[in-house]
A and B are shown apart, each in its own frame.
Chain A
């Protein structure tokens, strides 16, 4: 088994996929760092002060103004009210919601990357894991060795898990290291607020508490990893089922993008919550943003994802071990 995983790693490294992913992350982080930097600067100019309290106050006023508009859709109104209450809470408790620093940047980057960017990176590795062997024809050599088929697939899956972990770690590390150049490397101990419970339009603040940022980051990382594993496993399954890599990638990409779109419009289509792609924004639950569909909770999302994960694994292994190879 060890040998087989070593083989898969050798092929993965020779294809230089991980380096490409590293570069993509690096470039993106630099762009976002610059954007963030610009935003901070602009805010400073607008308010004529460095004081975040004034900035937050201004945000709250902005939000209130938007809420006052008649053309506001109901769903939007609810969401805005939620974030307004949250902002008010930050202000009342003297907590800077965007304490600048590389740690905060990393947290925000991960939270924004969880539902599209990270899954895309994972796809680069996962979607050709099996289908490339098919299209190169090397599958014939692989399956005529004295090794059972399930072991071969398992070695590929273990390699996928390893690369998923590497990708998540590299993303976190790069965004910390690169953004730190501009924002400084502080911010590990900054308090982050969590525990908002949403009951309809009301924010239940009874569970709200402060968590040190590094703990919060760890939670975020865990959730990002979980999402990455689930998305990776689904692409892996497609890679087993669909012989052509581009077709598999296309299907996965369509699913992910439709998830991003659905997130904005499904609030009245309740059964959409069983789609995996609507459940990817796990970090939103702990940072206290309203979920796309009422009644979705961290637990329900995690369970939904795990069910998809298990089904994908079962399908992959059954198909791979039974299929005739032509």
Chain B
């Protein structure tokens, strides 16, 4: 039985009369990378800020490793490391002094641990330079180093690849996977970049308008949306037959139906019986992107 590192129950936030977060529930297990996916303005950042104690929820509860974030704030925070949006550090201090600053705010973090995290993110060469001379990628690394100081069980990263170049994004992805697989850390990642989440996460929650629309593993989310592309002749007759079994969409010379392990052979047999020639049956997984647009209705409109 894997340990639950983060559990969120019926989390709500109201600002004035507007309910921004309308009741969010989810759980994170040890060693799991969990993606928080949604269009801009969906409530990702507000939710994350509630998780780390920056914003007080109107109602609902958040437990980190069993500690309530509101009642046992310090105990909960000891188990957690985070970067909220860009890693904003003190530009007038050196990287090392920044780490020292945050190490002093944690119990039992000594110089050995500081050296360890510096090595972990590969910043040894520049750690004593002022942060204002760092590139964005280096700041991101220092941000991660800072979040890792207390060897957290739960790492919360808000848009971790924001502003990184493709090489940096890949590096970050490998780094996060390593933390989850080798150190058994739970990682919560928010992003509006689907490709990133698809490659990085074990499970995904899709959030829109302050609600979680779907939570599932990446594979099963995708598989429920699996499609078969039929190329048949004559297409008219084929469409008639298939539509008697299931919903169809016509896309130029293809008929698209849902994929169903058991039913598909029957449909195929029916087609054959009616003398419709089946040239091609193509099973396709939609990208997360299509899925996302489907689930969220594709509207980019701000509510």
Q: Are A141 and B89 in contact (CB under 8 A)?
A: yes
Stretch in A9-17, A195-203, A312-320 with 4+ CB within 8 Å of B: A9-17
Q: Does B101 interact with chain A (Cβ within 8 Å)? A: yes
| CA distance in complex: A33, B73 (Å) | 55
User: Of B75, B86, B105, which is within 8 A of A145 by CB?
Assistant: B105
Hey, which chain A residues are within 8 Å of B77, CB to CB? Answer: 144-147
| CA distance in complex: A325, B76 (Å) | 18
Stretch in B90-98, B239-247, B291-299 with 4+ CB within 8 Å of A: B90-98
User: Of B73, B90, B97, B107, which is within 8 A of A138 by CB?
Assistant: B90
Complex interface bits, B79-116 against A, C-beta within 8 A gives 1, otherwise 0: 01010111111111100010011101111000000000
Within 8 A of B (CB), among A134-167: 136-138, 140-148
Q: Are B55 and A325 in contact (CB under 8 A)?
A: yes
Hey, which chain B residues are within 8 Å of A11, CB to CB? Answer: 90, 92-93, 101
Hey, which chain B residues are within 8 Å of A147, CB to CB? Answer: 74, 77, 105
Hey, which chain A residues are within 8 Å of B75, CB to CB? Answer: 146
| CA distance in complex: A3, B104 (Å) | 6
Complex interface bits, B111-133 against A, C-beta within 8 A gives 1, otherwise 0: 00000000000000000000000
Q: Does A258 interact with chain B (Cβ within 8 Å)? A: no
Hey, which chain A residues are within 8 Å of B86, CB to CB? Answer: 137
Q: Are A324 and B56 in contact (CB under 8 A)?
A: yes
Q: Taking the nearest CB of chain B, how far is it from the CB of A142, in angstroms?
A: 8
Q: Does A326 interact with chain B (Cβ within 8 Å)? A: yes
Q: Does A7 interact with chain B (Cβ within 8 Å)? A: yes
Hey, which chain B residues are within 8 Å of A264, CB to CB? Answer: none
Stretch in B46-54, B184-192, B253-261 with 4+ CB within 8 Å of A: B46-54
Q: Does B277 interact with chain A (Cβ within 8 Å)? A: no
Hey, which chain A residues are within 8 Å of B52, CB to CB? Answer: 140, 144
Q: Taking the nearest CB of chain B, how far is it from the CB of A279, in angstroms?
A: 36
| CA distance in complex: A322, B82 (Å) | 21
| CA distance in complex: A145, B100 (Å) | 13
Q: Are A326 and B55 in contact (CB under 8 A)?
A: yes
Hey, which chain B residues are within 8 Å of A142, CB to CB? Answer: 105
| CA distance in complex: A145, B56 (Å) | 16
User: Of B49, B74, B85, B97, which is within 8 A of A14 by CB?
Assistant: B97
Of B84, B91, B101, B106, the most chain A CB neighbours within 10 A belong to B101
Q: Does A43 interact with chain B (Cβ within 8 Å)? A: no
Hey, which chain A residues are within 8 Å of B90, CB to CB? Answer: 11, 14, 136, 138
Hey, which chain B residues are within 8 Å of A15, CB to CB? Answer: 92
Instruction: Look across to chain A and name the residue whose beta carbon is closest to the beta carbon of B56.
Output: A324
Q: Are A14 and B92 in contact (CB under 8 A)?
A: yes
Q: Does A253 interact with chain B (Cβ within 8 Å)? A: no
Hey, which chain A residues are within 8 Å of B107, CB to CB? Answer: 146
Hey, which chain B residues are within 8 Å of A322, CB to CB? Answer: 56
Q: Does B146 interact with chain A (Cβ within 8 Å)? A: yes
Q: Are B101 and A7 in contact (CB under 8 A)?
A: yes
Q: Does B70 interact with chain A (Cβ within 8 Å)? A: no
Q: Taking the nearest CB of chain B, how far is it from the CB of A145, in angstroms?
A: 4
Q: Does B78 interact with chain A (Cβ within 8 Å)? A: yes
| CA distance in complex: A148, B70 (Å) | 11
Q: Taking the nearest CB of chain B, how far is it from the CB of A306, in angstroms?
A: 32
Given A137-B85, A138-B88, A324-B56; A145-B102 close (CB under 8 Å): yes
Of B90, B97, B107, B150, the most chain A CB neighbours within 10 A belong to B90
Complex interface bits, A11-26 against B, C-beta within 8 A gives 1, otherwise 0: 1001100000000000
Q: Are B88 and A144 in contact (CB under 8 A)?
A: no
User: Of A10, A137, A146, A326, which is within 8 A of B105 by CB?
Assistant: A146
| CA distance in complex: A326, B92 (Å) | 23
Q: Taking the nearest CB of chain B, how far is it from the CB of A281, in angstroms?
A: 36
Q: Are A4 and B49 in contact (CB under 8 A)?
A: no
| CA distance in complex: A305, B54 (Å) | 33
Q: Are B55 and A7 in contact (CB under 8 A)?
A: no
Hey, which chain A residues are within 8 Å of B76, CB to CB? Answer: 146
Q: Taking the nearest CB of chain A, how far is it from the CB of B20, in angstroms?
A: 11
Hey, which chain B residues are within 8 Å of A137, CB to CB? Answer: 85-86, 88
Q: Does A112 interact with chain B (Cβ within 8 Å)? A: no
| CA distance in complex: A249, B203 (Å) | 48
User: Of A10, A144, A146, A324, which is within 8 A of B84 by CB?
Assistant: A144
Sort A-B residue pairs by CB-CB distance and give the 6 closest, nearest first: A137-B88, A146-B77, A3-B104, A145-B105, A146-B74, A325-B54
Given contacts A11-B92, A145-B106, A324-B56, 14 further A-B contacts (CB under 8 A): A4-B105, A6-B104, A10-B97, A14-B90, A140-B85, A141-B89, A143-B54, A144-B84, A145-B102, A148-B74, A322-B56, A324-B54, A325-B54, A326-B49
**22 A/B residue pairs, CB under 8 Å, sorted by A:** A3-B105, A10-B93, A10-B100, A11-B90, A11-B92, A136-B91, A137-B85, A140-B52, A141-B87, A141-B146, A142-B105, A143-B53, A143-B54, A144-B52, A144-B53, A144-B54, A144-B80, A146-B73, A146-B74, A147-B74, A147-B77, A148-B74
